[in-house]
Structure 1
């Protein structure tokens, strides 16, 4: 990474930040409803090296993205342009709005995180950039504050109204463990993943594109359901309130039902992991997928067919992971059967690929 920076900018980098991608095991579309989530970080990561840019006014950001082979320069006052640079600039705008001085900086970004796979390449980029800036500028930011700034960059500048899960997973997650997060209180707990099982991420072959508007529409539908019910958040309901949801106009009732039941699945899933009960956890994954498909309507036929294939060939649980409308499934597979399972699924679904 330092050689990439020096090759682009002709001087050594002064600081570096790294952050992983994530797979969400349970708790989809619950984070912006003050709910519970259960992601885990993956081996893929994004790295950002950074240095001060001499001779340029404060607030000028220049970045080179190796995955695109592009170098771009922008001022903090420039509007978003719908490209990867928006995420970088958004992070520095968030720092500036938090009261931190933003000098002219240059960054070199490398990543092996597959884009459009539903494993949050955007949050990995945001957290990597913010970690690099924190080191360079010696900022008094803890990991939770850093995650909040990454979310703000995406909400306020990029225009994607995501919750906090992805940034928290990238900032606080530990490899080999699930991160149980209460997005209302921001309390976290690490939970061991099942022994003798392997998590598989399989891309369906169709990239997801959350900024196309469907994600933001789902968030507005949840807000409309809350207004109709006279509550502040869907987190204020539990499964004992499901009959109330049946009286909502469609599709608000189904949207709310997904969130309420998904919160329960996260809590039950954490209990199952602590009890080393992989069978129950797999069943909850299957239920989560059906809820995303039928109630929240964020799945697509290619994802449904891939989840069905995963189950048919021996996964004990499989579900859409990420915001939906394409991307990947996550499946829980016995470790000793993984290679045969993977080969069978990929033969069954030729457009799919292992992540």
Structure 2
């Protein structure tokens, strides 16, 4: 564990943080201009920085134990550095002064599990840059620059949900977000409910998964249907006019948007859980982004009597699942389900122990 001062020999000028997130409903809808319902988690990424006079940026990752040096003229070879580099380049293009900096990153947001560690890094970087340069950069603009950084420089054609959640959500209420208009409001969790996040033991990376392929399929489907994006399709029967696999991709997006709208109307825990179960089935069968380990872990959660519902969370292809549970049974649920999962030859763990309703 090397602090900023241990690495760079002096204290930082500013320190900023941003949380990871777990998405409760609305998977793969954000890059289709749809609706999402994420909530921030307690785990945070911390970015510290100060000006230097070295003529180049020095970026130290405490998690990786390495320091990367770069200028804004060339994309760094190290993948983790591309996220920070992208934020700096996009901030500069937006008129923000970005002099050479010493940058230190520390994070307890789990990586590669679907909790948006990349967005937390991007938002924390831009928050620190805002504080250091005293620029009038609001939280929505931070999310937009962070998304642009990930698309243009890290190679992930992401929607804006993760960045908006990291920049604007909290751990007490879900953030209902219209990703087309960026209209948003906080939505309480259903009464007498709590969120549990478990890791499947299967890591995934978006740039190397089928994520970009799914986005391309949605774009092709929208073009065939004559709409700007799949957000503009309300009638699920429109999917039947398309060939495989486009018809199933469209069916997921339309039905998932509808599930988010129902959930955002503050439904009961039981109804919310049913929507989560339906979401997982759709992600597994129509969108094909689940894996056997996720399916098994979700099935074990759904079968537990103190669980209202469960689904994979994040883009899929591995990672984590999220469950809505009775608050008093969280420990029992996690212990029983993970033991059963282990008995079947898999290794999982608790990622986010509890996000509870206030009612």
Listed one character per residue, the Cα deviations across residues 12-71 of structure 1 (whole Å, up to 9, x for unaligned) are 2111110001000000000000000000000111000110012x23xx321111111111
Q: Deviations over 1:199-249 (max 9, x none)?
A: 0000000012211141000000000001111111101011xx222211101
Question: Separation in 2 of the partners of 1:82 and 1:278?
Answer: 43
Match of 2:205 among 189, 206, 209: 209
Aligned residue runs from structure 1 range 105-184, under 5 A: 105-184=101-180
Match for residue 255 of structure 1?
249
Q: Secondary structure at the match of 1:243?
A: helix
1:329 corresponds in structure 2 to 321
Gaps of 5+ in 2: 352-359
1:99-158 Cα distance to aligned partner (Å, 9 max, x none): 222100011111111111100000000001110000001111100000001001000011
Task: Report the Cα distance in structure 1 between the residues aligned to 2:113 and 2:35, rounded to whole angstroms.
Answer: 22
Match of 1:70 in 2: 66
Please show how residues 1-355 of structure 1 align to structure 2 within 5 Å.
4-54=3-53, 56-57=54-55, 60-238=56-234, 241-271=235-265, 273=266, 275=267, 277-314=268-305, 315-350=307-342, 351-355=347-351
The answer for the alignment partner of 2:356 in structure 1 is none
Change (3 A) 1:249 1:158: same
Deviations 1:55-94 (A, max 9, x none): x23xx32111111111111111112425211111111011
Deviation, structure 1 residue 165 = 0.3
2:91 match: secondary structure = helix
| Contact kept in structure 1, 2:209 and 2:317, CA below 8 Å | no
SS of residue in 2 equivalent to 1:316: strand
1:306-352 Cα offsets, whole Å, 9 max, x none, are 00000112311100000110000000110111211111101011211
Q: What TM-score, normalized to structure 2?
A: 0.94
Inter-partner Cα distance in structure 2 for 1:242 and 1:193: 28
Describe the SS at the equivalent of 1:349.
Answer: helix
2:70–2:76: 8 Å Cα contact kept in structure 1?
Answer: no
2-structure distance, mates of 1:82, 1:265: 39
User: Which is further off, 3-12 or 286-295?
Assistant: 3-12
Find the aligned partners of 2:106 and 2:230 in 1 and give their Cα distance: 38
- Alpha-carbon contact 1:80-1:158 (below 8 Å) kept: no
The runs of 5 or more residues in structure 1 that have no matched partner are none
* Dislocated runs of 4+, deviation >4 Å: none
Structure 1 residue matching 2:264: 3-state secondary structure: helix
Q: Distance in 1 between matches of 2:303 and 2:61?
A: 40
- Is residue 80–residue 157 contact of structure 1 (8 Å, CA) maintained in 2? no
Q: Indicate conservation of the 8 Å contact 1:82/1:158, yes or no.
A: no
Q: How many pairs align?
A: 346
